[in-house]
Amino acid sequence: MKIIKEIIVVEGRDDITAVKRAVNAEVIAVHGFSVKKNLERIQKAYENRGIIILTDPDFAGLQIRRIIKSRFPLAKQAYINRWEGKKDGDIGVENASPEAIIRALEMAKCETVEASKIFTVNDLIENNLTGHKNSKFYREKLGEKLGIGYSNGKQLLSKLNNYGITREEFENAVKSFKKKKVAFVCVHNSCRSQIAEALGKLYGNDVFKSYSAGTEIKNQINQDAVKYVKEIYNIHMEEEGQKSKHLSDIPNVDIVITMGCNVNCPYLPCEYREDWGLEDPSGKSKEEFYKTIKLIEEKILSLKERIEKNLL
């Protein structure tokens, strides 16, 4: 299916409706004299696809056109005549017939290309951009990162495919606001790393996803750890599905936290790594276990804060 290559810039929402009734194109509304606040939204389209300015055939439209043209000097210009945009004393692109809009765009030397299908609905679903309780927030953040403004799911998919957004740009933008994946690692993934996974899920679930793993595994996780975490937080780690896992059993992660057992994981790639230097409380007193658990809690809360503030 063919689509106009350039992004068409109009004044308002009714103008968008009129243009889309006439042609297959992406359209941006600058909302009248709020145009200066919306220039950044046009920048990406201008750089990747080019733009065509189609404002109302009146004095205000001329002023808005000049503002846009001064920022984007290579923008193409499309005009409708006053009589084509006049209806019941009102003048605007929204009143123009499809034929008038098509003529104006052809006179502006618009180009057509095959509509891109790089992105699909699955990209939105897999990245929580639709069908998730925080999808609206994520779409807003993505729009900011890509410079394409806020969109609902359908509009976002269209922009991704028609604004010249690359797969790499999309993935880098998503990565910047998506939950970080954190792996807590020790030798047997039996005690400290299991406690960290449980407390990570308890305190940090809104900021990062918690995993734990080891360079070796045991048949069950440390039963004292299970007992004391249940006593303090009313979390039964085994009933929550936690078990000893090998490093190869978890997904790729962004952050690796070693517990203090000098574990070296060169084959576990990550963006950031740190060691918490925690003594293994296995076989020690209840007091030692409680002390270690509370240290892990403090470090989990600190980790959450640093991730939220982009300090890692």
Share of the chain above pLDDT 70, in %: 98
Under the banding of pLDDT at 50, 70 and 90, the label for residue 310 is confident
Whether pLDDT at 130 is above 50: yes
Distance CA 46, CA 8 (A): 10
Q: What is the mean pLDDT of the chain?
A: 92
Structure tokens at 170: 């999309």
CB contact at 8 A, 235 and 205: no
Under the banding of pLDDT at 50, 70 and 90, the label for residue 305 is very high
140's torsion region: left (phi>0), alpha (psi -120 to 50) or beta? alpha
Report phi then psi at 308, rounded to 5: -60, -35
With 0-12 / 13-18 / 19 or more C-beta atoms within 10 angstroms meaning exposed / middle / buried, residue 298 is exposed
Under the banding of pLDDT at 50, 70 and 90, the label for residue 265 is low
Whether pLDDT at 40 is above 50: yes
Whether pLDDT at 3 is above 90: yes
Under the banding of pLDDT at 50, 70 and 90, the label for residue 267 is low
pLDDT at 266: 46
Whether pLDDT at 264 is above 70: no
Distance CA 216, CA 186 (A): 9
User: What are the beta bridge partners of residue 257?
Assistant: 184, 274
Whether pLDDT at 236 is above 90: yes
**CA separation, residue 24 to residues 2, 8, 27, 112, 153 (Å):** 7, 11, 10, 9, 18
Under the banding of pLDDT at 50, 70 and 90, the label for residue 93 is very high
pLDDT at 261: 66
Among 31, 29, 22, which Cα is nearest to 3's?
Answer: 22
pLDDT tens readout for residues 109-121: 999 998 888 999 9
CB contact at 8 A, 19 and 10: yes
Angle 262-286-283 (CA atoms, 0-180°, nearest 5)? 50
Structure tokens at 289: 């276990």
199's torsion region: left (phi>0), alpha (psi -120 to 50) or beta? alpha
Distance CA 198, CA 296 (A): 10
Least confident of 25-34, 43-52, 62-71, 263-272: 263-272
Query: How confident is the model over 50-63, as a mean pLDDT?
Result: 95
pLDDT tens readout for residues 162-208: 888 999 999 889 887 778 899 999 988 999 999 999 999 999 998 89
| Amino acid sitting at position 250 | I
Distance CA 112, CA 267 (A): 47
CB contact at 8 A, 279 and 203: no
Element (H, E) at 289: helix 286-308
